[in-house]
Structure formats: C-alpha cells, structure tokens
C-alpha cells in the first residue's frame, strides 16, 4: 500500500480504538513495529479505573484524578475521561472483554490514591492483555482495517505544514517505504526504555513523540515521568511490574530488617501516590544501604493471592519467590510518561493532519502524576475521540507519485546499541526519581555529544527525546508530582502551576538543535 485513507501508528489500546472509529469512513492501516499484541497495554496488570460501581461516583473519580495530578491537570480533559469512561468500558464489555466478577457482578478493587474501589481487572492481573484481546478480535472483524506488524515507522511525512503520511521500514525486506493518508493517528505508547531501569517492554522507546517533535508538533510536560515504586528486583530477574494492586489489597513495604517504613514518610503509608512511595523506597534503600525493599503479602490468604494475582505469582515462582510465603524484593523503575505530544480533547496536535492518543499524547489528564489505572481508560476514551475527529476533519486524499522503496541495511535504521546503552544509563543516573541542576546540566552536555554521533534517524529520535525530557526537567525550577529536584524541593504554585510546551521549526535538520521551552501555558483553573 502506498495510499490509504488513514494511518494509525501503534496497536495498543489507543491505536486499536482509534482504528475502529476511523473504519466507519475509510480504509485504515495499523502499523506496529512488533507483534500486534506487543505494547504497554499488554503488560498493564492492575486494571482500569472507572466509576461504574454502586458505591462510586463520577465526581469522586474526577477529584481523585485532580488530587493525584498535583495541580496541573486540565480539568476539561479529566471531565471527559471520567464522564465518558463508563460508556467505553460498557462498549468494550459488549465487544467481549471479560472482566473479573463476583457473584455475577463486576469485581472492583482499590489502588493507591483512589477514594473508592473502582479498579476493574481481568484474569486477576492480566487486564491489559484481556483488553487487547477483545479490541483485536473486534478490529479483525472489520474489513476496512489492515494490520502491518513488524513495520517500524521512522519519520512523519509533512507537506506545506501538514502531516500527509509516514516513512516506515517494510517488515520483511528492509525496504524504506512511504505511505500517504488523509490523516495520521499517533498511538506509539510510552518511553520507559529511554531508562536503564524500567517496567516497559522493548518497544516502548518514545519514537512517536520524537517523530512528532521533529515534524514540528508541540510536546508538553515531558519532565513528568512516573517511576513505579515496585518492580521486581530479584537477582537475574527482569524488571517485571509488581502491580499497585498488591498494596491496594493490603501489601506491606518492609526494609531489610523487616520493619514497615512507609508511615514514616507519609500518613497514607502504602496507599500514598506513586511518586511519594517511589521516593520513600529510594530514601529507605539509601538509609539502609540495600538495593531493594520487600513487599510482604504473606499475611494474606494464599488461595486469594494465587487467584487474584496469578501472573505475578507464577512469574515470581520462576525466580524462586513464592509470594504466599516470602516477601517480594522490589525497587522503583521508570514506568509511565505523563507528558507527550500536546493535544486538545479531540486528539488534535498542533500539526494539522496529525492526531495523537494514549501514552504518546499529553491531553492534560494526568497532570504531574498519573492516578493509578487511569491510563487504559485514557487510551479507550481519547483513542476513540481522536479517530472520530480525524474522520470528520480529514481532507480528501491528494494523489501524488510515491518514491520507490529504498533498500536499507539494519544499521541504517535500528538503534545504535552503544549510544542507546549510554543514553539509558545517563537518564537513569541524572534524570530519574531525584534530580538537580548539576546532574541535569551534565546530562544535557553528554546528550549533545551523543547527538553528533547518531548514525541514523531512529537513534537521533531517541536522543532528541532524552534531551527534551532533560531540558524540561531543568527548566521547571520546583518539585511537583513525579518531578522532584532535591535542590528545589518545594512546590511553587505561584510561578510554576503551568505546563512546559516545546516545539521546533519543521524539518529533520532542526532535530539536532537544542530544544527550547516555547511558552508557558496556564492550566485551566
């Protein structure tokens, strides 16, 4: 295919839901750089937050989201999320999604910073996997949707200030191809793999954000990167996510002497927001000189744990840990990017023809700190809205001569392994849970050196995003939500209750130029 009505980049919850909306008015190509079911959505364990239970209220979900967001959520976007969320979850159930039930009724659990039990889950701790299964099954029944797996998008095509398509690597022949469309929806997920310690899968490298930035779109709030407090820290084990839901069900964090410690850092203890729990764990590790703390579930019923957390239970068993009888070694890891490509509540970016949804977008829903389990709901709601807006607004396809595919060697488009490793280590050392002016300045200088060595566009995209995150963190001279600077530990609502918004002129050549904060956009108070 060289021409199609709509292109969706990414096959997670936001991309699939956008494709379903777009299919009502044209042919849709869904491009993804790995398997169709390989995305951050697939690894989402805890669940999806939605005000559907009899004891919950939409207004309470709204207030909890604002509180977690540390003062800079966009209230209009949050209102859309919590009010439309029940409709899209109900729709998903009608399409075959099987959430866990008790006595025939939907079962809800509670996670940190939620005032009610409003977290739906599936197969215990495989919620994301179930949502992807249901969405893919529904999308595959729609003949207007075509899937192209193992097709890595490397550039957005722009003409006369409009996004008109993509440049990608054909999955089987290492051919650089172009595909044009009436509109493009970016749903490439997160960027955890820009850090050396992360819960994210290999595909989460932030390509979409960097591509949009290079093409001229605004990006926003990239300084707000959420670090999950509890990733598996067993020797030889991957940084497997140990869900927030374990603490919601009564898990206790203990130091190396077995002492519970969270109440010393926050009165909410284990149910404090993620940023507080993560920094508390880091502080306790430094205080005791240990490389991890323990999450203790052994006081809970073993049958309940095996039934409620089957995936976590089996994964830990593979590394010699039985969560029913032994504490789980855990430590923080990069998990979720609250910022991204700046959009309105319909997924429109500042670049005409380009829409974005899910973790790659910044709708303003999450503010400075995402409320647990709001991400899957955001993908559903804003994926659908982005697809509907693109369908309504996209002009007719303008037919042009598409260049012939160009054969590339893998070295022309895959990440340079040494530069990628150096970038990940640099970001973890200087731009992770605790930051300061000296470390951030050091990181920017080193990233600038690596930019000059970048051998191809994908490596340059990785470095461009690393620099954007670091520059935004250096610019924000306060501590707020997931962004914490030990040289400026206080929150400053008078001067900094604002978003960072960054953009560069159109053109690939400009990507190597240092990004600047374009302006301060006040939040909707």
Q: Would you say residue 37 has pLDDT above 80?
A: no
Same domain, 237 and 322: yes
Where a domain ends, among 283, 303, 333? 333
Q: Would you say residue 14 has pLDDT above 50?
A: yes
Within-domain flag for 276: yes
Same domain, 328 and 424: no
pLDDT-derived band at 435, boundaries 50, 70, 90: very high
pLDDT score recorded for residue 245 = 83
Structure confidence by residue, pLDDT tens digits, 114-126: 889 899 999 877 8
Query: 10-14, 42-46, 341-345, 409-413: which range is least confident on average?
Result: 42-46
pLDDT score recorded for residue 464 = 92
Within-domain flag for 353: no
pLDDT score recorded for residue 312 = 93
Same domain, 320 and 416: no
Q: What is the dihedral of CA 200, 71, 14, 232, to 10 degrees?
A: 20
Within-domain flag for 304: yes
Where a domain ends, among 316, 333, 350? 333
pLDDT-derived band at 524, boundaries 50, 70, 90: very low
Are 490 and 478 a contacting pair, CB within 8 Å? yes
Within-domain flag for 31: no
Within-domain flag for 324: yes
Query: What does each C-alpha distance from 454 to 116, 417, 524 come to in angstroms?
Result: 48, 11, 39
Within-domain flag for 488: yes
pLDDT score recorded for residue 516 = 44
Active site members: 274
Query: 59-63, 66-70, 113-117, 437-441: which range is least confident on average?
Result: 113-117
**Which letter, b or e, does each residue of 231-265 get, where b requires 16 or more Cβ atoms within 10 Å of its Cβ?**
bbbbeebebbbbbbbbbbbebbbbbeeeeebbeeb
Structure confidence by residue, pLDDT tens digits, 137-151: 999 999 999 999 999
Structure confidence by residue, pLDDT tens digits, 300-359: 999 999 999 998 999 999 999 999 999 999 999 999 999 999 999 999 999 999 999 999
Where a domain ends, among 277, 309, 333? 333
pLDDT-derived band at 509, boundaries 50, 70, 90: very low
pLDDT score recorded for residue 404 = 85
Are 370 and 379 a contacting pair, CB within 8 Å? no
pLDDT score recorded for residue 413 = 84
CA angle 148, 361, 386 (to 5 degrees): 65
> Range of 447's domain?
409-522
Same domain, 329 and 413: no
Q: Give me the number of domains the chain comprises.
A: 2
pLDDT score recorded for residue 409 = 85
Query: What does each C-alpha distance from 476 to 275, 469, 502 come to in angstroms?
Result: 17, 11, 13
Write the CATH number for 483.
1.20.58.100
Same domain, 421 and 515: yes
Within-domain flag for 155: no
Helix (H, G, I), strand (E, B) or coil at 421: helix
If one compares 355 and 46, the residue with the highest pLDDT of the two is 355
Q: What is the dihedral of CA 489, 332, 63, 308, to 10 degrees?
A: -160
Within-domain flag for 278: yes
Write the CATH number for 271.
3.90.700.10
Strands in 122-161 per DSSP E: 145-148, 152-159
Structure tokens at 506: 């159109």
């Amino acid at each position: 295919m060289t021409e199609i009505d709509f292109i969706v980049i990414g096959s997670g919850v936001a991309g699939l839901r956008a494709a379903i909306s777009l299919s009502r008015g044209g042919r849709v190509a869904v491009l993804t750089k790995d398997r169709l079911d390989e995305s951050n959505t697939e690894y989402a364990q805890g669940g999806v937050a939605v005000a559907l239970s009899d004891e919950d209220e939409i207004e309470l979900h709204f207030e909890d989201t604002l509180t977690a967001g540390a003062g800079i959520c966009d209230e209009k976007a949050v209102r859309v999320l919590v009010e439309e969320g029940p409709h899209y979850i109900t729709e998903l159930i009608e399409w075959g999604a099987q959430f866990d039930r008790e006595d025939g009724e939907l079962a809800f659990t509670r996670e940190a910073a939620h005032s009610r039990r409003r977290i739906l889950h599936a197969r215990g701790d495989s919620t994301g996997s179930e949502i992807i299964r249901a969405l893919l099954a529904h999308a595959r029944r729609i003949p207007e949707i075509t899937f192209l797996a193992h097709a890595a998008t490397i550039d957005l095509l722009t003409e006369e200030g409009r996004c008109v398509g993509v440049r990608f690597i054909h999955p089987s022949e290492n051919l650089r191809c172009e595909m044009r469309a009436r509109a493009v929806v970016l749903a490439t997920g997160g960027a955890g793999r820009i850090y050396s310690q992360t819960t994210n899968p290999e595909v989460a490298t932030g390509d979409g954000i960097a591509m949009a930035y290079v093409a001229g779109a605004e990006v926003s709030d990239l300084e707000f990167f959420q670090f999950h407090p509890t990733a598996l820290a067993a020797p030889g084990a991957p940084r497997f996510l140990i869900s927030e839901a374990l603490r919601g069900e009564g898990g206790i964090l203990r130091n190396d002497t077995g002492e519970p410690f969270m109440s010393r850092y926050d009165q909410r203890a284990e149910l404090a927001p993620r940023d507080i729990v993560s920094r508390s764990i880091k502080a306790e590790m430094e205080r005791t000189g240990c490389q991890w703390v323990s999450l203790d579930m052994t006081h809970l019923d073993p049958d309940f744990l095996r039934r409620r957390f089957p995936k976590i239970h089996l994964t830990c068993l593979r590394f010699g840990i039985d969560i029913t009888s032994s504490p789980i070694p855990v430590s923080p890891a990069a998990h979720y990017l609250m910022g991204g490509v700046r959009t309105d509540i319909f997924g429109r970016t500042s670049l005409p023809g380009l829409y974005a949804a899910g973790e790659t977008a910044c709708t303003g829903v999450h503010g400075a700190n995402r409320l647990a389990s709001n991400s899957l709901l955001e993908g559903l709601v804003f994926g659908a809205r982005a697809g509907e807006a693109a369908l309504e607004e996209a002009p007719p396809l303008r037919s042009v001569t598409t260049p012939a595919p160009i054969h590339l060697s893998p070295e022309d488009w895959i990440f340079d392994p040494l530069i990628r490793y150096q970038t990940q280590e640099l970001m973890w050392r200087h731009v992770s849970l605790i930051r300061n002016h000296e470390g951030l300045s050091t990181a920017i200088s080193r990233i600038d050196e690596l930019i000059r060595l970048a051998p191809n566009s994908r490596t340059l995209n990785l470095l461009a995003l690393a620099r954007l995150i670091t520059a935004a963190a250096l610019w924000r001279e306060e501590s707020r939500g997931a962004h914490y600077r030990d040289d400026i530990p206080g929150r400053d609502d008078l001067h900094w209750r604002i978003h960072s918004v960054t953009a560069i002129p159109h053109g690939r050549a400009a990507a190597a130029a240092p990004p600047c904060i374009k302006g301060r956009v006040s939040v909707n108070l």
